Chains A and B, each alone.
Chain A
Amino acid sequence: MSVLEMREVSRVYGQGANEVHALAGIDLRVEAGAMVAVMGPSGSGKSTLLTIAGSLEAPSGGEVWVAGQELTKMSRNAKARLRRRSIGFVFQDFNLLPGLTAAENVSLPLELDGTPARKARVASVRALEGLGLGERAANFPDQLSGGERQRVAIARAVVGDHQLLLADEPSGALDSANGEAVMRLIHAACKRGMAAVVVTHDAQLASWADRVVFLRDGRITDQTMPPAGPESLLGQTGQAR
């Protein structure tokens, strides 16, 4: 089943002579358990695609389906509920609330959605433990390193029954080791059945995805084929000289 399906999605800003087509004719399906990376230069429409997929912005045309529901037909409140229940967001600047502990940051969306505080707290600590942050649950964001803050953001994105993870340059400010750790975590979440869309200009991050789609001037112009097995590389390339 597709967790995310975008059909002929377009987004136009401005009017008349100032009209800018940020997205045009976007068709994208992401199945449960799949990780798709969207690559493209700045201004190609990557972030717009992500905000529309996450119901944070409405498309000018086309349909967006998340977890079996069509967004354009939903009320504002219904979309907010869908976001809390089904969608996890990971942003470059983490977007953690500074006055809340790591555990509270993770449990907040669950509590807002009506999960009893105690139950939300247990789920939150479990998600943090899963990312190696069990001992940091009571720390505030400013007491955590950049890598730890990003792991809290991922814990918040995968906690509860979220089916779709949307990430915008998720390792933006991190060094390559922490960036790799972030991608391992997102990929592991996909192996447990989540669907993920990761927007990035970084090929090393994109290479973690099962499929990479290329965006240019608001259109999907190309995508990778399913990667061949490792056998084709091991024992063939880089022959010892």
Chain B
Amino acid sequence: MSVRHALLALLSEGPKYGLQLREEFEARTGEVWPLNVGQVYTTLQRLERDGLAQSDGSDTEGPQRRFRITEAGREELAGWLRTPPDMTSPPRDELVMKILVALRLPGTDVPGVIQAHRRYLVQLMQQWTRIKEAAPESDIGLALAVDAELFRLDSVIRWLDSADGRIKRAAASSQQETGPMVKLRIRTGVTR
């Protein structure tokens, strides 16, 4: 989440004070992303330094200063909205690593490992769903933020389900083709 651009977006509606920006930021994101006030002021200073926002006057300090977006700020915001975030190279996923290691570790109950992660993720999804259920329907910001979490967690569970099925099928077919020896190799993960 780019705090810098989120603040520019709020300023694009009109001049605002620092504290007001923090409150509005948290309200719009359904308080899913908390923001401390220090972070707000540091970001505002940088926006001012870069000519993307300007304050009422440099005489007053802290909460008394009101900020407004500049023309350069509006251009920056419009450009940012349409620039896709970098999703090309996925980071080394810890969960994927754990399942791969489980597959190679002799004597590991791989479905059991998968299930431990699946249960944790479903529990997390239950918590998010409770938040969505309790929120007023008019709070679209919160619903969108929670949906994003739910879809993300759901995709991980789908990967676990697919891994579970793939491992089960691989074990079954290798047992069918060449007998128990290969099954042992797959279980101990010395297949590659």
A and B are partners in one complex rather than unrelated chains: yes
The residue of chain B having its C-beta at the shortest distance from the C-beta of A225 within the complex is B123
| Nearest opposing residue in chain A for B150, CB measure | A204
Range, interface on chain B: 35 or more
Contact with B along A28-71 (1 / 0, CB 8 A): 00000000000101000000000000000000000000000000
B96 within 8 A of A: no
A140 at the interface (CB under 8 A from B): no
Which residues of B have CB within 8 Å of A225? 123
Contact-residue bracket for chain A: 20 to 34
Residues in B with CB closer than 8 Å to A203 are: 121-122, 125, 153-154, 157-158
Q: Which of B103-133 contact A (CB under 8 A)?
A: 111, 115, 118-119, 121-131, 133
Are B161's CB and A227's CB within 8 A?
no
In the complex, are the beta carbons of A204 and B31 less than 8 A apart?
Answer: no
B45 CB–A CB distance under 8 Å? no
Main secondary structure of the interface of B (DSSP, over half): helix
Closest-by-CB residue of A relative to B1 is A240
Contacts of A201 in B (CB 8 A): 161
Contacts of A238 in B (CB 8 A): 1, 32-33, 149
A235 within 8 A of partner (CB): yes
Residue in A closest to B120 when the chains form the complex, CB atoms:
A224
CA A106 to CA B190, docked complex, whole Å: 58
Interface residues in B153-170 (C-beta closer than 8 Å to A): 153-154, 157-158, 161, 164-165
Q: Is the CB of A41 within 8 A of B161?
A: yes
- Contact flags (1/0) for B26-68 with A, using CB distance below 8 Å? 0000011111000100000000000000000000000000000
Are A224 and B126 interface neighbours, CB within 8 A? yes
Residues in A with CB closer than 8 Å to B181 are none
- Per-residue contact bits, chain A 213-225, to B (CB 8 Å; 1 contact, 0 not): 0101000011111
Q: Which residues of B contact A184 (CB under 8 A)?
A: 133
Residue B3 lies at the interface, judged by CB distance under 8 Å to chain A = yes
- Is B134 close to A, CB under 8 A? yes
B118 near A214 with CB under 8 A, answer yes
Q: Is the CB of B119 within 8 A of A224?
A: yes
Residues of A within 8 A of B (CB): 39, 41, 184, 187, 201-204, 206-209, 212, 214, 216, 221-225, 227-230, 232-235, 237-241
The 7 closest A-B pairs by CB, nearest first: A207-B125, A227-B126, A207-B129, A240-B33, A203-B157, A230-B131, A207-B126
